Amino acid sequence: MRRFFPDIFHGTKRLLLLNISYPRQRIKIKTYIFIPLILPDVSLNLRTGKPDHHPIEKRQLKMDIKCSGVILAGGENKRFLGKNKALCLIEGKRIIDRIYSVFRSIFDEIILVTNAPELYPDMDAFIVTDIYPKRSSMTGIHSGLFYASNPYVFCSACDTPFLKKEVVQCVLSHIRPHFDLILPETSAGLEPLCAVYARNCIGLLEQNILADRFKIQRAFNEKRILKIPESVIRQHDPDLSSFFNVNCREDLSAAWEMAVHG
C-alpha cells in the first residue's frame, strides 16, 4: 500500500485506513475506505516516544530539495589592494569559513568557484574554476551550474560574513519548477548573490557571457524570476545583515564592529 500511495503517508493531510469485512456473505469481502484526516504537523520522536513539534518541512529540507551550494570566490578585489577578502579574519574566523559553515549545515554538495584554487587547500568542497575567462559574477554562476549535480544551485558571494542559515532556507523554500531565478528583493534592490538558479538556464547564461552581457537580472525572462519580498526576509534576518558584504577596508572594520556587538 505504501508503495502505491506514497502521498497518503506523508504531509499534514493523512488518511485513515479502515478494514471492513462482511462475515454473513459466503465470500468475505474486505473494503478499504480512505477517510481524510487533518493531523498536526508533528511526528513521533523515536528516542523519547513523544511528539516532535519541529516543522516537518524544515527538518526534511536537506533531503527534499535537490540543490547544491555554490560559493563564488573569483573576484579581483581591486579595493582590497589585491588581498583576497574571502580570507580576511573576523573574530578569528575567515569570511569564507563563516559562509562554508552555513552551507555545510544545509547542502550535501558544496562547490567553490575560484581562479586561485591553491588558496583553499583545506576547503572540503568541489573546487572549480571559471569556464570562460571573463571576470564577472555571471561567469562564476555559470560554472557553478555547469559542475553541479543537482537541478538547482544556491549562489553566494565569498564576502558576506553574516549570511544566515535561516535566510538561505527561506530562499530554498521558494523554489518552484516554473522559475529559473529565485532571489530576495529589498529596498536596496535585488540580491542575485543570495539566490537560487535553475540548472536549465546554463545555455541562457552562456549566450549572455559570449555577448559580454553580464547584468544577471536582464538575462532572464521577467516571468521566470521569483522575487521574495523584504518583509519575508526580515522574518528571518531583521537587520538584513545577510546582505552585508565586505568590499573595502572600511567595510571590514564595520564587520568587526557588527561581530563584536552582535
pLDDT at residue number 255: 93
The 10 Å Cβ neighbour count of residue 103 is: 22
pTM for this predicted structure:
0.75
| Residue 245 in grid coordinates | 558584504
CB-based contacts of 192, cutoff 8 Å, min separation 6: 137, 155, 181, 183, 216, 217
pLDDT at residue number 9: 34
What is the spatial distance between Cα 68 and Cα 58, in angstroms, rounded to a whole number? Answer: 17
Kindly give the confidence (pLDDT) of every residue in the chain, 262 residues in length, as a single tens digit, with 9 standing for 90 and above. Answer: 433 333 333 333 333 333 434 444 444 444 444 434 333 444 444 344 444 444 434 434 444 679 999 999 976 665 565 678 999 999 999 999 999 999 999 999 999 999 999 999 999 999 999 999 888 999 999 999 999 999 999 999 999 999 999 999 999 999 999 999 999 999 999 999 999 999 999 999 999 999 999 999 899 999 999 999 999 999 999 999 999 999 888 999 999 999 987 6
What is the spatial distance between Cα 102 and Cα 113, in angstroms, rounded to a whole number? Answer: 17
pLDDT at residue number 262: 67
Domain coordinates of the chain in residue numbers? 6-58, 60-261
Pick the CATH number of 60-261 from 1.10.3470.10, 3.90.550.10, 3.30.360.10, 3.30.1540.20: 3.90.550.10
CB 159 within 8 A of CB 86: yes
pLDDT at residue number 84: 87
Query: What 3 state SS string does the chain have?
Result: CCCCCHHHHCCCEEEEEEEECCCCCCCCCCEEEEEEEECCCCEECCCCCCEECCCHHHHCHHHHCCEEEEEECCCCCHHHCCCCHHHCEECCEEHHHHHHHHHHCCCCCEEEECCCHHHCCCCCCEEECCCCCCCCHHHHHHHHHHHCCCCEEEEEECCCCCCCHHHHHHHHCCCCCCCCEEEEEECCEECCCEEEEEHHHHHHHHHHHHCCCCCHHHHCCHHHEEEEEHHHHHCCCCCCHHHCCCCCHHHHHHHHHHHHHC
pLDDT at residue number 173: 97
What is the spatial distance between Cα 164 and Cα 193, in angstroms, rounded to a whole number? Answer: 14
pLDDT at residue number 135: 84
